[in-house]
């Protein structure tokens, strides 16, 4: 029996995994776009961040009808990309197709429909059609929408934002590896901000069903000639009664190889900074799991967050002092969160002797933040400082 990918050495596991799947059809196009984008910013000596965002699907069939997904809508990644652009970075935004995007995220959520911000102005006397008025932004939203529009147009017109989509976990892996290698010329000006919610499990292509998994048993004597008009196959539609024996679907998943270490020691530019996220639901596990991830993958920063408090607090776990640093939005300035649990703020913090190092923003809320501060507006400037310090340290050592 051949060893599973999880039992192989990193380089061997990488080769085995990527040989399981054909490259995404869009990969050559994405590589061409990314290469031109990166070359432009290398010439300008500008920092470039690769932001990954949204969830990955795990197909159950080669001709996919069913798949496993997660809850991620890409909020963290899309929001962070905007703040990176404000800090002068160029952004490659590798995102789940149809997840939230920078700038348009303000108006694409179901509770913030862009149509609610629009109105039809009264027709003018010189209008070609007296029954049709111009579509306009409602007066109370003019300033807010103008601010978002100007930022978006500036990013696009100056070629500072590149949007590249993926859907499946294998597509994500192909794209991440390719982009990391293309970013080699950036050196220490490259930053990886891995906010995507990547599946931990998958079905190897060699074990995947080719066609849709059937929800009922197929008769042993079935032939394609019998398919049309057959009343022996339960489809769930217009059937007089369901089958007497139900069929369970048992899925055997393999762990997705942990390529996060390969990103550091094989794919990314020497001297670049790699930041990853660790999401947990149990406060007692968060710091431990984040520290374990930092040690295992040799990243420069792991940002830990709880599902219930992720919009209000995160923890920076670093290999150097202070090792554990909490960043929080002050209580009076926290945005409302349907899924948030206020009482869980602070439960994951490890207090040894004196209070652990933390930072609560005292900056006034931005006009676009609505009824609260977006925590990404605090995370990104702090992260930029760390990246700048890494670049300076590398420059000092080279002199």
Radius of gyration from C-alpha coordinates of the chain: 25
Instruction: Report the candidate in 168, 166, 197 with the shortest Cα–Cα distance to residue 179.
Output: 166
- 194's enclosing H/E stretch is strand 190-194
Cis peptide before 162 (omega within 30 of 0): no
In whole angstroms, give the CA distance from residue 187 to residue 373. Answer: 33
What is the signed CA dihedral for 117, 123, 128, 134, rounded to 10 degrees?
-10
In this predicted structure, what is the pLDDT of residue 366? 46
Query: pLDDT tens for residues 142-157?
Result: 999 999 999 999 999 9
Cis peptide before 322 (omega within 30 of 0): yes
- Dmax (CA) for the chain in angstroms is 81
Question: DSSP letters along 274-339, please?
Answer: EEEEEEES-HHHHHHHHHHHHHHH--SEEEEEETTTTTTEEEEE-SSTTSEEEEE--GGGBPP-SS
- The answer to whether 77 touches 212, Cβ cutoff 8 Å, is no
- SS3 string of 347-380? CCCCCECECCCEEECCCCCCHHHCCCECCHHHHH
Residue 365 binned pLDDT confidence (cut-offs 50, 70, 90): very low
Instruction: Report the candidate in 361, 379, 363, 371 with the shortest Cα–Cα distance to residue 314.
Output: 379
Lowest mean pLDDT among 61-65, 249-253, 367-371, 376-380: 367-371
Q: What is the mean pLDDT of the chain?
A: 86
Instruction: Report the candidate in 235, 348, 243 with the shortest Cα–Cα distance to residue 288.
Output: 348
Please state the domain extents for the chain.
10-104+141-205+253-357+371-398
- Determine what percent of the chain is predicted with pLDDT higher than 70: 82
Query: pLDDT tens for residues 8-56?
Result: 776 777 888 888 888 999 999 999 999 999 999 999 999 999 999 999 9
Task: Return the number of other C-beta atoms located less than 10 Å from residue 335's C-beta.
Answer: 16
Write phi, then psi, for 127 (nearest 5 degrees).
Answer: -70, 140
Question: Mean per-residue pLDDT for 204-223?
Answer: 73
Superfamily of structural domain 10-104+141-205+253-357+371-398: CoaB-like (3.40.50.10300)
Q: Rounded to whole angstroms, what are the CA distances from 394 to 88, 168, 285?
A: 20, 36, 34
In whole angstroms, give the CA distance from residue 319 to residue 264. Answer: 15
Query: pLDDT tens for residues 256-277?
Result: 877 777 888 889 999 999 999 9
Q: Rounded to whole angstroms, what are the CA distances from 283 to 194, 286, 287, 315?
A: 22, 5, 8, 12
In sequence order, the 6+-apart residues with CB closer than 8 A to the CB of 308 are: 281, 339, 340, 341, 344
- 48's enclosing H/E stretch is strand 48-53
Residue 234 binned pLDDT confidence (cut-offs 50, 70, 90): very low
Find residue 137's DSSP bridge partners.
118
Angle formed by the axes of helices 10-20 and 169-182, nearest 10°: 120
Instruction: Report the candidate in 162, 269, 251 with the shortest Cα–Cα distance to residue 202.
Output: 251
The conformation of residue 264, written as its DSSP 8-state character, comes to: I
Residue 65 binned pLDDT confidence (cut-offs 50, 70, 90): confident
What is the signed CA dihedral for 77, 78, 79, 81, rounded to 10 degrees?
80
Query: pLDDT tens for residues 78-125?
Result: 999 999 999 999 999 999 999 999 999 999 866 688 888 999 988 876
In this predicted structure, what is the pLDDT of residue 231? 46
């Amino acid at each position: 029996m051949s060893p599973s990918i999880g039992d192989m050495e990193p380089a061997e596991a990488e080769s085995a995994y990527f040989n399981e799947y054909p490259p995404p059809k869009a990969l050559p196009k994405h590589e061409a776009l990314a290469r031109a984008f990166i070359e432009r910013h290398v010439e300008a000596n500008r920092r470039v961040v690769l932001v990954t965002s949204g969830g990955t699907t795990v197909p159950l069939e080669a001709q996919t009808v069913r798949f496993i997904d997660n809850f991620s809508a890409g909020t963290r990644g899309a929001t962070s990309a905007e703040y990176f652009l404000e800090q002068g970075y160029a952004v490659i935004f590798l995102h789940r197709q149809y997840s939230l995007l920078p700038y348009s995220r303000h108006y694409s959520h179901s509770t913030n429909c862009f149509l609610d911000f629009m109105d039809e102005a009264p027709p003018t006397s010189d209008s070609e059609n007296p029954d049709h008025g111009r579509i306009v932004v409602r007066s109370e939203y003019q300033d807010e929408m103008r601010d978002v529009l100007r930022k978006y147009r500036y990013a696009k017109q100056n070629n500072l934002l590149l949007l590249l989509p993926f859907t499946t976990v294998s597509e994500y892996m192909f794209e991440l590896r390719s982009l990391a290698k293309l970013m080699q010329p950036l050196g220490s000006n490259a930053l990886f901000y891995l906010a995507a919610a990547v599946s931990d499990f998958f079905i190897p292509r060699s074990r995947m069903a080719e066609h849709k998994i059937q929800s009922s048993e197929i008769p042993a004597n079935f032939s394609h000639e019998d398919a049309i008009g057959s009343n022996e196959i339960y489809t769930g539609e217009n059937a007089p009664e369901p089958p007497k024996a139900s069929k369970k679907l048992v899925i055997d998943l393999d762990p997705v190889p942990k390529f996060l270490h390969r990103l550091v020691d094989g794919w990314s530019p020497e001297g670049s900074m790699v930041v990853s996220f660790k999401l947990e639901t149990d406060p007692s596990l968060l710091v431990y799991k984040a520290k374990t991830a930092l040690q295992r993958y040799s990243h420069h920063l792991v940002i830990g967050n709880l599902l219930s408090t992720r919009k209000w607090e995160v923890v920076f776990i670093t290999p150097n002092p202070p090792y554990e640093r909490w960043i929080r939005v002050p209580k009076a300035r926290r945005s409302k969160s349907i899924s948030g649990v206020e009482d869980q703020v602070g439960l994951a913090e490890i207090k040894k002797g004196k209070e652990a190092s933390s930072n609560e923003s005292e900056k006034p809320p931005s006009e676009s933040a609505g009824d609260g501060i977006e925590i990404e507006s605090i995370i990104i400037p702090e992260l930029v400082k760390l990246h700048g310090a890494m670049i300076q340290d590398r420059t000092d050592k080279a002199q």
